[in-house]
Amino acid sequence: MTAVDARPESPATLRFPEGFRWGTATAAYQIEGAATEDGRTPSIWDTFSRTPGKVRNGDTGDIAADHYHRVREDVALMRELGVTDYRFSVAWPRVQPTGRGPALQKGLDFYRRLCDELRDAGIRPVATLYHWDLPQELEDAGGWPRRETAARFAEYAGLVADGLGDRVATWTTLNEPWCAAFLGYGNGVHAPGRTDDAAALRAAHHLNLAHGWAVGALREKLPAGTEVSLTLNLHVVRALTESAEDRDAARRIDAVANRVFLDPVFRGRLPEDLVRDTAGVTDWGFVQDGDLAAIAAPIDSLGLNYYSPTVVAAGSSESPSPWAGAERHVRFLPAPGPRTAMDWPVDADGLYELLVRLRDELPEVPLVITENGAAYDDYADPSGQVRDPERVAYLHGHLAAVRRAVEDGADVRGYFLWSLLDNFEWAFGYSKRFGIVHVDFASQRRTLKDSARWYADVIARGGLPS
C-alpha cells in the first residue's frame, strides 16, 4: 500500500461536477534543467538569471528539478496522485533554438516522450506554448515590443503543433502575458529586465497579437475538436474605500491589469479608458488595421491563474512600476489576513469574485483554474516527512471557493494545482517552495508532502472532505 492509498475514509464529500479535470502544473524553465543539452540555446531567463543581482543567490535554471532526465519518475508521481491532467510548457529555445527556422527534432522528441508517458499513465497532456522563455536572439532583435516577435511565435506554434498535434489534448498559447509584458519590460523584475512603460504596452499588444495569430496556426494544424486556450493572471482589484477617487484607482489598475487582455481577446477592441489613461506614455500607433480582429479569434476556454487580491487607493507609487503610468494615480496597500512565504495574502474569496465576474461578463466561455497554490517554508523532518498544513488549508479554502462559484453558475471545468514540484521560482530562485512534492535540489530526491496526499484524496473522492 502506498502513502497515497492509505487515506482515511470520510462520511461526506463536497463533490465537483462529473468530468471535472483535476490537474497539476509546471513550467519548462522552472523544472527541466538540461539548459545546454540537445541543441537548446539560451532564453531570456538564462541571460537574466546570470545577470548579477537579478535572481536571489545567483540561482539559475541550469539544473532546476532535472525533469529533463526524470520524466518517467515524475509521471509516476502524477499517476500515484491520480491526476487526470498535467499542464506543462514547451521551451521555445529547445524546439526552435533561435526563434527562427525549422524545428529541432531532439527538442520535440523530449516532449513526445513526456506526452507518451502521460498518456500511458492515463493523464491528459495540456501544453502551454509560451511560459516566458523567449529565445535570447529574438530579444536581441527587439523582443516583445517588436511586432516581428508575434509573427515568429505564430510560426513556432505551427511547428509544435506539427510535432505534437497527435498527442496533446489542450493547447494554451500564452501563460500570463501580463507578467511577460509588465514585469519583463515595465518594472524589470522579470526577464529581460527592461524598464520602459511604452515598451511594456507595445509588448502587451504584440503578445495579444501573437496569441491571435497562434490560434490561427493551431487551428490550421490540429485535428478538429482540439481545445485551444489562453491563460491570464487576472487581478482581483479592490478599492480601499467607496470614494470616487479610490474607485477610479481600481478602474485604472483593472484596465492595465485585466482589460488590456480581456477586451481585445473577447471583444475585439482596446479599452477606451486605458488608451486615455496611457496617452502620456504612448499613442497606440503600433496597433495596425486587422490586429484586433486577429486577436479576437475564438478560443475554447479561458485559463485563470489566481493567488491573491490587490488593494488600491488614490495616491501615487514609486517608479519604475509594472502599471504603465498608473503609478502616478494609484497606491497599493497590503490586504489583510495571513500571508504565504511569498508575503502574499491568503484570500480565497478573491477567487470566487473572479469566477463570478467572468460568469457575468463572459458567460459563453468555459473556465479552467490553470494555477492556484502557495509557497511555504517546507522541510523534511527527521522522519523524512514534509508536513505542510498551511498549504492544505490554503488549497481547501480555494477549492471550496471554486465549488461555491460552480454552484452559483460559473462554468468551471477544471483545477490545476501549482505546482507539482518545488522548482526555480523566477527572481526568488530556489528560496520559495510551491510544490506538493518536495525536491531536495542537491540529490534531486522527490518526497510527497502531506498536501500531495491530501490532493490525491480530493481527486479520488471527486471533491472536498466536508
Question: Which residues does the annotation mark as catalytic?
Answer: 176, 371
> Rounded distance, CA 232 to CA 173, Å?
11
- Grid look-up 475514509 returns 9
**Kind and range of the H or E run holding 238:** strand 237-239
Phi, psi of 71 (to 5 degrees): -60, -50
Query: What are the angstrom distances between the C-alpha of 296 and each of 208, 211, 239, 270, 442?
Result: 9, 9, 30, 11, 46
> Rounded distance, CA 404 to CA 303, Å?
18
Q: Which of 35, 126, 142 is nearest to 85 (CA)?
A: 126
403 is written with which cell numbers? 465549488
The sign of the CA dihedral 192, 325, 236, 300 is negative
Query: What are the angstrom distances between the C-alpha of 81 and each of 130, 238, 308, 437?
Result: 26, 36, 26, 10
Under DSSP, is residue 204 helix (H, G, I), strand (E, B) or coil? helix
Query: What are the angstrom distances between the C-alpha of 180 and each of 128, 133, 174, 458?
Result: 14, 9, 9, 33
- Grid look-up 509516476 returns 76
Phi, psi of 333 (to 5 degrees): -125, 150
Under DSSP, is residue 118 helix (H, G, I), strand (E, B) or coil? helix
Q: Which of 200, 147, 211, 210 is nearest to 178 (CA)?
A: 200
> Rounded distance, CA 413 to CA 368, Å?
5
Which 8-state DSSP code applies to residue 37?
G
> Rounded distance, CA 317 to CA 187, Å?
12
Q: How would DSSP label each residue in 306-318?
A: ----EEEEES---
- Grid look-up 509573427 returns 151
Phi, psi of 376 (to 5 degrees): -135, 170
The sign of the CA dihedral 233, 160, 42, 136 is negative
What is the separation, in whole angstroms, between the first and last Cα of the chain?
25
